[in-house]
Amino acid sequence: MNKRRKQLLRELGLSPIWHLKSDTSEQNEISASSLTEIKGSILPPADVTKDTQDSQPIHLMNWDQLKSAVSGCMSCPLSQTRTHTVFGVGDENANWLFVGEGPGAREDAIGEPFVGQAGKLLDQMLAAIRLKRGDQVYITNIVKCRPPNNRNPSSGEARQCEPYLTRQIELINPKLIVALGKVAAQNLLGSEDSISNLRGKIHHYSGIPLIVTYHPAYLLRALPEKAKAWKDLCFAQSTMQSLR
């Protein structure tokens, strides 16, 4: 196995655990073909597919490379049922990053996040704190392909997509992340805590302050909770002001 492949597998946590215990010979190390076979069942993260001569590992990609990798991604079963990948939209140097769960039907049809009813409410929530999509604001999701019937993405699907979101966050380098709803909050924070426990605190994602609020689609069904979301947005705004 060449040095670069060894290093990549080690970084992905796939090496040396997939070596046979009793034999460390070259024959028992993972070959490119066995990785492809394993991919269908164990679903290693999306990065594994990028270990070729002509493509970059995701964590080194620039915006264009990342967009192109996402649009061609076949790393999980959601790729089989999507119409469009939904990469994200907005100011690539934004101070504010809003992260939702995953595309719904309208987003899948158009290829842009939060363009349905929940998106309209999100735009109103942004306007309430004098923000608008595209202006110091970037919006994306935990998964870039629509989970069928708008179910929650599985943890495996979220894990597959994670390297793309991680790289987006590195490239944007926002001052503050707002997690919209339980799926976004739990995946970004690696927590299983309820949204009511996660709200009202400053968490951190790779050193970036992160605040949790309700998902706009939930607020459409639970109107009385809008007051709490308003409180969260004010908290996010004052947190941002304290960071300047």
Q: Which residues bind ligand URA (CB under 6 A)?
A: 86, 100-104, 107, 113-114, 118, 141, 217
**Where on the phi/psi map is residue 185: left (φ > 0), alpha (ψ -120 to 50), or beta?**
alpha
Write down the least CB distance from residue 28 to ligand URA, Å: 43
Write down the least CB distance from residue 141 to ligand URA, Å: 5
Shorter beta-carbon distance to ligand URA: residue 44 or 88: 88
Shorter beta-carbon distance to ligand URA: residue 5 or 226: 226
Write down the least CB distance from residue 177 to ligand URA, Å: 14
Tell the burial category of 83 from Cβ atoms under 10 Å away from its Cβ (0-12, 13-18, 19+): middle
Q: How far is Cα 62 from Cα 57, in angstroms, rounded to an integer? A: 10
Residue nearest to ligand URA (CB): 100
Q: How far apart are the first and last CA of the chain?
A: 48
Q: How far is Cα 97 from Cα 103, in angstroms, rounded to an integer? A: 16
Write down the least CB distance from residue 14 to ligand URA, Å: 30
Q: How far is Cα 88 from Cα 68, in angstroms, rounded to an integer? A: 13
Write down the least CB distance from residue 108 to ligand URA, Å: 9
Shorter beta-carbon distance to ligand URA: residue 100 or 163: 100
Shorter beta-carbon distance to ligand URA: residue 30 or 118: 118
Q: CA–CA distance from 220 to each of 117, 160, 177, 182 (Å)? A: 8, 29, 22, 15
Shorter beta-carbon distance to ligand URA: residue 116 or 209: 116
